Amino acid sequence: MLPTRNGAAHLDEAIRSVAEQTFRDWELVLVDDASTDETPRIVANWATRDERIRPLRNERNLRLPGALNAGFAAASGEYLTWTSDDNLYSPEAIARMTAYLDGNPGVDVVYADYVRIDRNGRVTGSTRVGRPEEIYFGNCIGPCFLYRREVGRRLGGYQEDLFLAEDMDFWLRASAAFNLSPLREELYAYREHGGSLTSRQAPKVIRATERALKGFFAAHPFPDGDVRARSWLAMAARAIHAGERRLADKYFVYAACSSPSRTFRDAGGLFALRGELDEARRLLMARETELEAIRGTWSWKVTAPLRDLKRILSRRKAGEP
């Protein structure tokens, strides 16, 4: 399943990565979540080219969890997954994950390692997915996975009130009822760019994840206090990186309430990180103030053409346009 809203920039490439799978017995439900760009045209074009592609359009924007539920309600396969409109499968991804589930009847969800790419598709790094028990500290499943239809049926789909944390909530609940297993192969390319939901709305993602964790912990007697404390400390670290100091302080309190000993044993590094980031911000602001003062001087303005010429010559030497 592939949900999209105004994702025309990379949608064609994402669909092609599905169409070029070595595993041929697939169905792709393409959910256009009320797009206003070129997405409808791209979806219609692919639907006429391949009968395995089924287009579905929402007349109003249901947001990601609603679009996922609509798409999976229309899907007919026994194994299910979904991908984003800016990411790519490797050609053998579905075949490898299908073979893994076929060969391991005790596993309900398989998930794979992946590479990271930039806006232009260049590989920038790789990510090794975590163990299932690490789900309490962040989404260790990642973007490349396949699960049995029974998983989605028993979980009741994605929680539509947890937009931006719908996947984290889904995997938390799945981990409590099913067997999850990592596949140590890089089968996917995850695109990192400023236009992604995660990049644009980091503070909102953190708050939504908080609600998902609270709901899960309230409904389950496990994990124990130490694990819950580590979970809230991981949330504090993400809040610090996002510049959300008040959220970080709140998560420190949640951690201390879960397990005081674990919190004070593990929190030192986070306090040091917060101090380092604060010092870095202070130095950056000081340097910016100094730079603004320099930019206002007569000498800076007079030498501007020379600096421009130097940049042009450097680019030509490097072979850049």
122 and 254 belong to one structural domain: no
Is 218 a domain residue?
Answer: no
75 and 148 belong to one structural domain: yes
Number of structural domains in the chain: 2
Q: What is the CATH number of the domain that holds 115?
A: 3.90.550.10
In this predicted structure, the answer to whether residue 199 has a pLDDT above a threshold of 70 is no
167 and 67 belong to one structural domain: yes
- Could you tell me the pTM of the whole model? 0.83
Is 213 a domain residue?
Answer: no
245 and 289 belong to one structural domain: yes
Return the number of other C-beta atoms located less than 10 Å from residue 228's C-beta: 20
Domain end position, chosen among 203, 235, 265:
203
Find the angle CA(135)-CA(85)-CA(195) to the nearest 5 degrees. 85
Q: What is the pLDDT of residue 182?
A: 98
147 and 39 belong to one structural domain: yes
pLDDT in tens, 4-46: 999 999 999 999 999 999 999 999 999 999 999 999 999 999 9
Q: Tell me the average pLDDT across 138-152.
A: 97
Residue 279: band (very low, low, confident or very high) from pLDDT cuts 50, 70, 90:
low
Q: What is the pLDDT of residue 222?
A: 86
135 and 62 belong to one structural domain: yes
Is 46 a domain residue?
Answer: yes
| Top-confidence residue, 279 or 24 | 24
Gap between the terminal Cα atoms of the chain: 40
Q: What is the pLDDT of residue 160?
A: 97
187 and 242 belong to one structural domain: no
Which DSSP string corresponds to 49-101? H-TTEEEEEESS--HHHHHHHHHHHH---SEE----TT-EE-TTHHHHHHHHH
Is 214 a domain residue?
Answer: no
15 and 162 belong to one structural domain: yes
Q: Tell me the average pLDDT across 88-100.
A: 98
Nearest CA to 170 among 187, 188, 154, 191? Answer: 154
- CA 147 to CA 242: how far, in whole Å? 32
User: Residue 280 burial (CB < 10 Å; 0-12/13-18/19+)?
Assistant: exposed
Residue 291: band (very low, low, confident or very high) from pLDDT cuts 50, 70, 90:
low
Q: Tell me the average pLDDT across 170-177.
A: 98
- CA 131 to CA 247: how far, in whole Å? 27
272 and 189 belong to one structural domain: no
172 and 263 belong to one structural domain: no
Domain end position, chosen among 171, 203, 235:
203
Is 216 a domain residue?
Answer: no
Quote the domain boundaries for residue 264.
223-321
Is 237 a domain residue?
Answer: yes
239 and 301 belong to one structural domain: yes
In this predicted structure, the answer to whether residue 256 has a pLDDT above a threshold of 80 is yes
Mean of the per-residue pLDDT values of the chain:
89
In this predicted structure, the answer to whether residue 94 has a pLDDT above a threshold of 70 is yes
Is 313 a domain residue?
Answer: yes
289 and 167 belong to one structural domain: no
Domain end position, chosen among 146, 169, 203:
203
